Amino acid sequence: MSATPKTANDVAPRGALGWLDEHTRLGPVISASLHVRVPRTANTMYFGGIALFLFVIQATTGTLLSLYFKGTPEAAYKSVQFITSEVNFGWLIRSIHHWGADLMILFVVLHLLRIFFQAAYKYPRQMVWLVGMLLLMVTLGFGFTGYLLPWDQRAYWATVVGTEIAGSVPVIGETLLMLLRGGTDVTGDTMSRFFGIHVLVLPISLAALLGLHMLLVHQLGLASPKRPEPRTPEGKAALANEPVRPFFPNYIVDELVAWYILLAVLVVLASIFPAGLEDPANPLQTPQHVKPEWYFLGVYQLLKLIPIKVIGIMTPIVAVGLLVFWPFLDRSPEVLARRRKLAVGGATLVLASLVALTVFGYVS
C-alpha cells in the first residue's frame, strides 16, 4: 500500500516560525542558528553573552544620547549638561551608558580569562580567539574615544595623558600621536576624530567582527573544558555520543536570566552612582591628579614605575602581541588546568601583577 503523499502543511513548520518561513523563506536559517553544540561539560559562565548584551545596551543608549549630543568642544559640554538636567530620563540613559561601558570591558576581559583558563582557544578555535582579540581592541577603543566626549577637565586631561602614552611608542609614536590628536595638541580636531570614530567606525567594526565571532562559534560549537577537541575521523564520530545540553531553549533561557540580572544591576548602579561632570575642559589648567580610566591604569602605573621609557612602553606591547598569537604558540592539546601549569601559572602571575598595579595606581 502506497503512503499518502505529504501536503505542504505536513512538512512546513507551524506557528510563528511557520508564518515567518512562508513569508521570508528564512525558516532553515533561523532553526540552524538555534542549534549550537553545547557539551554538557561546557561552562561559559555566560560572560560572552553578557558582553554581547552590553553591546546592545551601549548601542541603544548611545543612539539616544546622540539625539542631543553635539560633537564640538564649545557645544559638547553644554549638551551633556542639557542631557543630564533637562532631557526626560537623560541622566539615566547617560549613566547607563557610562556604567555599561565599564561593565562591557569587565565582561569582555572575564570572557577572555574564562577562555584562557579553560583552554577554549585551542584547535580548532584559534580563529575565534583572533577575532576575539580584535573585539577586545575595539571595545577598549570605545572606552578611550568616548571618554573625551563630555569635554570636561577629567575627559580632556585623561586624553592628553592617553595620547601621550601612544606618542611614546618607539618609531611610530609621533605619527600615532598626530593621527590621534589631529595635530600636536588635544583640540576640537581631536574631538571631531574621536566622535566620528566612536559613533561610526567602532560600532560598524564591532558589529561586523561580532557577526564573524558568533558565526565561527556557531559552526565550531562550544569547547569542552574536560577533553581536547578530537582531530581524527573516529574521534569526531565519537562526539555523537557525548552528552550535550540543548542550546534552545535551555542555554538561551539561562542566558536571558543572566541578562535580566545584569540589566537590574546596571539600573541600580546608574541610579545610585550617576555619571558625573567636572568643570569644562581648560587646556591651561592641569588638574593635580590626572589618571586614565581604570582599564588603562595598570599600564599607566607600569610606565611610571619603569624608569627607561622604551622598556616601559614595549612591555605591554610585547605582552599584547604574545596574547594575540598565544593559541599558535601553545600547541599542546592538553586542556586540563592542572596539566598546563606553565600557562596557567604564568597567566595568574601576569593577572595578579596587573591587578596590583591598577590598585596601586588608584590609591597613589
Residues making contact with ligand HEM (CB under 6 A) = 44, 46-49, 51-52, 55, 108, 111-112, 115, 120-121, 125, 128-129, 132-133, 135-136, 139, 210, 213, 217, 222-223
Decide: residue 139, CB within 10 A, 0-12 exposed, 13-18 middle, 19+ buried: buried
- Nearest to 318, CA basis, from 302, 331, 333, 307: 302
Q: Considering the complex, what minimum distance in angstroms separates the CB of residue 250 from ligand HEM?
A: 14
Number of H helices, E strands in the chain: 17, 0
- Quick one: 96 or 105, whose CB is closer to ligand HEM? 105
Q: Which is nearer to ligand HEM, 98 or 111 (CB)?
A: 111
Least gap, CB of 227 to ligand HEM (angstroms): 13
What does the DSSP 8-state code read for residue 152?
A: B
Query: With contact defined as beta carbons under 8 Å apart, do 129 and 121 qualify?
Result: yes
Q: Residue 167 or residue 225: which is nearer to ligand HEM going by CB? A: 225
Nearer to ligand HEM, 116 or 157 (CB): 116
Shortest spacing between CB 7 and ligand HEM, in angstroms: 39
Least separation, in Å, of the C-beta of 38 and ligand HEM? 9
Tell me the one-letter amino acid at 300: Y
Identify which of residues 59 and 306 has a Cβ nearer to ligand HEM in the complex: 59
**With contact defined as beta carbons under 8 Å apart, do 123 and 231 qualify?**
yes
47 and 111 in contact (C-beta within 8 Å)? yes
Question: Considering beta carbons, is residue 117 or 294 the nearer one to ligand HEM?
Answer: 117
CB of 127: closest distance to ligand HEM in angstroms? 9
Residue number with the shortest CB distance to ligand HEM? 132
Rounded to an integer, what distance in angstroms lies between the CA atom of residue 148 and that of residue 189? 12
Cβ closer to ligand HEM: 167 or 203? 203
CB of 49 to ligand HEM, least distance (A): 4
Query: How far apart are alpha carbons 250 and 149 in whole angstroms?
Result: 41
Own/partner contacts of 42-49, CB < 8 Å, gap of 24 or more, are 42/222, 42/223, 42/224, 42/225, 42/245, 43/118, 43/225, 44/114, 44/222, 45/110, 45/114, 46/254, 46/255, 46/258, 47/107, 47/110, 47/111, 47/114, 48/111, 48/217, 49/255, 49/258, 49/259
Question: At closest approach, how far in Å is the CB of 67 from ligand HEM?
Answer: 25
